[in-house]
Amino acid sequence: MATATLSPVDTDKLSNLKSAVASLNQISENEKSGFINLVGRYLSGEAQHVEWSKIQTPTDEIVVPYDNLAPLSEDPAETKKLLDKLVVLKLNGGLGTTMGCTGPKSVIEVRNGLTFLDLIVKQIEALNAKYGCTVPLLLMNSFNTHDDTLKIVEKYANSNIEIHTFNQSQYPRLVTEDFSPLPCKGNSGKDGWYPPGHGDVFPALVNSGKLDALLAKGKEYVFVANSDNLGAIVDLKILNHLIQNKNEYCMEVTPKTLADVKGGTLISYQGKVQLLEIAQVPDEHVNEFKSIEKFKIFNTNNLWVNLNAIKRLVEADALKMEIIPNPKEVDGVKVLQLETAAGAAIKFFDRAIGVNVPRSRFLPVKATSDLLLVQSDLYTLTDEGYVIRNPARSNPSNPAIELGPEFKKVANFLGRFKSIPSIIELDSLKVTGDVWFGSGVTLKGKVTVAAKSGVKLEIPDGAVIANKDINGPEDI
């Protein structure tokens, strides 16, 4: 542990915290030691500052262009061999609260009445059926989503797919003022705790016993992705490349657009590939970091990791990812959450690489504006559960969509559209105020719809709006 560099004050803090945490019977010994370890590292101030002058742009050997990956064998038996080594893991700890939903975000309906989880299950079922393999699906839940997810996965009981769930760690929130665990202050409900970010996926896999069970079945690689990224589907070319080249870790990156300037990027640093996040960038270099010219790629959080390597590194306590301090307030009490991100682990794995993938592999749904895109005619849904972009759109990038607060919650968003407009030829849409869309509306070019305060503005059925600013019925 990192106590060697602690000041006497911090040593006392950690010692008191350790005693307090020992009395928390809601969490396991593994969780207690993991938490104390994280806090010890945080207090020792081991944050690694990147020396800007030592940053190098990764070569094509380190960040491999997708088109450079070897073609796959046409033999279905070879494909089955690849798939038999694979496990798919979706990060399922998030709640749909930002979109006004209760329960896991993965059960928001995306298209044709199907949820994120329905689509994921459909995709893996189709692979298992086509190649006669058994790719299992693992869902990493948090204590927030665990109970609901267990109920939800019951509906897949008769599917051609093994579904396993496990929980990521549960850590106590730290009271900033005196560095004590919030649950010791009488806040023993869910608000006293937090899940420590998706960097916890590696220890959680080991501690849950899932990793050993997978290794015993001959599994070698796990494909980890956010459950809300509709583009994160199994890609055999990537898996084949990793097996052939013995790469223990692969991060999918994709070219940055102006919408992604804050996303983490891959760099070569002191001979290793490393994730550089905006939080690590010295203030005077932030604009350079955001430039699309110098840092051309960003992390999609689609990760491929060797299971034996995870076991080796977790057991050696070697995965010391950068700590992300996340200050919050609970019932007026200032608290601190210490978190880590799975992408930051790249530098600890042998022969780690990035693959620069097409943008189609990054289709996250973070807000109702993203839901509008994937529910529109810009995308179609295949029988196997894949969301495919409509080739009728010639512009490679998606329209920029901004919806006002009236559309923030899914229920309100759905209520305000009789049907989702046609947006194949749309460049941008900005909607503010009390706006309602009829059915069969078509939007093209740059469209702004701004209802005046206190006025309900209805876009009539079948309206075609191209390159217009609409402030009232007279503008339609």
User: Domain end: 361, 396, 431, which one?
Assistant: 361
Indicate if 347 and 383 belong to the same structural domain: no
Can you read off the two tokens belonging to residue 324? 């992300």
* Per-residue pLDDT tens over the stretch 412-459: 999 999 999 999 999 999 999 999 999 999 999 999 999 999 999 999
Residue 464 lies in a domain: yes
Q: Which of 304, 338, 361 is the last residue of a domain?
A: 361
Query: Which pLDDT belongs to residue 4?
Result: 52
Element containing residue 458 per DSSP (H, E): strand 457-459
394 and 250 part of one domain: no
CA angle, corner 268, sides to 264 and 269, nearest 5? 100
Alpha carbon 94 to chain centroid distance? Answer: 9
* Domain containing residue 176: CATH number: 3.90.550.10
How confident is the model at residue 221, as a pLDDT? 98
Q: Is 198 annotated as a binding residue?
A: yes
Q: Identity (one letter) of the amino acid at 437? A: F
What DSSP line would sit under 400-450, residue for residue? EEEE-GGGSSHHHHHHHBSSPPB-TTEEEEEEESSEEE-TT-EEEEEEEEE
Domain span at residue 458 reads 368-475
Query: Contact at 8 Å (CB) between 417 and 406?
Result: no
- The reply to whether 197 sits in an annotated binding site is yes
Question: Is position 398 within any domain?
Answer: yes
pLDDT in tens, 73-111: 999 999 999 999 999 999 999 999 889 988 899 999 999
Q: Give yes or no: residues 181 and 266 share one domain.
A: yes
Report H helices in 210-268: 210-216, 236-245
Encode pLDDT of 206-262 as tens digits: 999 999 999 999 999 999 999 999 999 999 999 999 999 999 999 999 999 888 888
| 364 DSSP 8-state letter | B
In a domain, 97, yes or no: yes
Judge whether 105 is annotated as a binding position: yes
Tell me: pLDDT of 185 over 90. no
Provide the residue type at 49 as one letter. H
Strand duo 353-356 + 249-255: pairing = parallel
Q: What's the mean per-residue pLDDT of the chain?
A: 93
> Strand pairing of 174-175 and 333-339?
antiparallel
- Residue 217 marked as a ligand binder: no
> 341-369: per-residue pLDDT in tens?
999 999 999 999 999 999 999 999 999 99
User: Are the CB atoms for 451 and 433 separated by under 8 Å?
Assistant: yes
Model confidence at 293: pLDDT above 90? no
* pLDDT above 70 for 47: no
337 is in an annotated binding site: no
293 and 413 in a single domain? The answer is no
Pair 246, 134 in one domain: yes
Tell whether 300 and 381 lie within a shared domain.
no
Known binding residue 164? Answer is no
Among residues 322, 340, 361, the one where a domain terminates is: 361
Max distance between CA atoms of the chain, in angstroms, equals 72
Q: Is the alpha carbon torsion for 391, 393, 397, 398 positive or negative? A: negative
Same domain as 387, residue 300? no
